[in-house]
Amino acid sequence: MDKVILATKNAGKAKEFKEIFGKMGIEVVTLLDFDEEIPEIEETGTTFEENAAIKAETIANQFQLPTIGDDSGLVIDALGGKPGVYSARYAGLEKNDQKNLEKVLKELQGVEEKDRTARFVCVLAFAVPGEDTITKRGTCEGTIGFEPVGTNGFGYDPIFYPSEYEKTLAQLQPDEKNNISHRRDAINKLVEWIKEQN
Ligand code: IMP
């Protein structure tokens, strides 16, 4: 394998993949690299695995190339796993990071620190035309704070304290966050799996 598609139109997401896969001699292209109009793929699944696989398989079938699909989100124990697969649109259809985290803080009102455990989850699905799709799950464990702190990152970063850090993800430098992120964990697991196949 010398080329893989990352089923995203988000150039930021692709950077980390390009670096890590590049070291193995695998070129990573995204949906931005194709001239064809590629419709938005609906995330109709109820699990991260299902959504990641839908994205990977749709694109792998269309272009007949190995494809990685991803899905990620925040899982909060005291909320029974919410916002989960609905993380991007938790406060409504329109994607709004500020409203989403405010909704989470409101729902956690009255929940004490020891019960505010949570984790970011990233699932990567790897689809190869004609073969069974595999999935790898990465996590970043932590707790939810009581107010937003920090300006780096995106999404729920300002309210998420990774385990063993006194800072939120939004207070970490991008490299520091990448080193402990759910996305990096999932990428590492997928890379291990790909290496084992050779
Ligand atoms: P996706 O792009 O469908 O995977 O949606 C992921 C959603 O989960 C984002 O819109 C964020 O709300 C949240 N999320 C995923 N990863 C992170 C992260 O690293 N920091 C903060 N929020 C994240």
9, 42, 44, 87, best to mutate for ligand 1 pocket (most atoms within 8 Å of CB) = 87
Whether residue 59 contacts residue 67, with contact meaning beta carbons closer than 8 Å, is answered with yes
Which residue has the CA at smallest separation from atom 9 of ligand 1? 88
pLDDT of 93 reads 77
Tens-binned pLDDT, residue by residue, of the chain (198 aa): 899 999 999 888 899 999 999 999 999 999 999 998 888 898 999 999 999 999 999 999 999 999 999 999 999 999 999 999 999 999 997 889 999 999 999 999 999 999 999 999 999 999 999 999 999 999 999 999 999 999 999 999 999 999 999 999 999 999 999 999 999 999 999 999 999 997
How many independent structural domains does the chain possess?
1
pTM: 0.96
User: How close is the Cα of 101 to the center of ligand 1, in Å?
Assistant: 11
Integer Cα distance of 31 and 66 in angstroms: 13
Domain span at 95: 3-197
CATH of the domain at 145: 3.90.950.10
- Find the 155 Cα to ligand 1 centroid distance in Å: 6
